[in-house]
A = this chain, B = another copy of it.
Amino acid sequence: MLIAIGDAIRRTRATRNISQEALADLAGIDRSYMGGIERGEHNVAVINLSKIAEALEVRPSTLLAAAGI
């Protein structure tokens, strides 16, 4: 599941043409932590999920749906 969420974030980020570092900065999340989230290494909590979704201009529920959950 965490990998699917990381993939969904990466795919959505790609559609926005922004780098992982830019997404981390936009979302106010540490760049290396952001990398771990995209690799599915972190059990991301809803506040961070919401910051990432906002930076990607999608809803958190949309991100989870894109991850198939």
Interface residues, chain A, with chain B CB atoms under 8 Å away: 1-2, 5, 43-47, 49-50, 53, 59-62, 64-65, 67, 69
| Cα–Cα distance between A59 and B60 once the two chains are bound (Å) | 13
Nearest CB of B to A69, in Å: 5
What number of copies of this chain does the assembly contain?
2
Closest to A42 in B: B45
Contacts of A2 in B (CB 8 A): 46-47
- In the bound complex, do residue B50 and residue A60 qualify as a contact, i.e. CB atoms below 8 Å apart? no
Nearest CB of B to A65, in Å: 4
Closest to A53 in B: B69
| Cα–Cα distance between A64 and B65 once the two chains are bound (Å) | 10
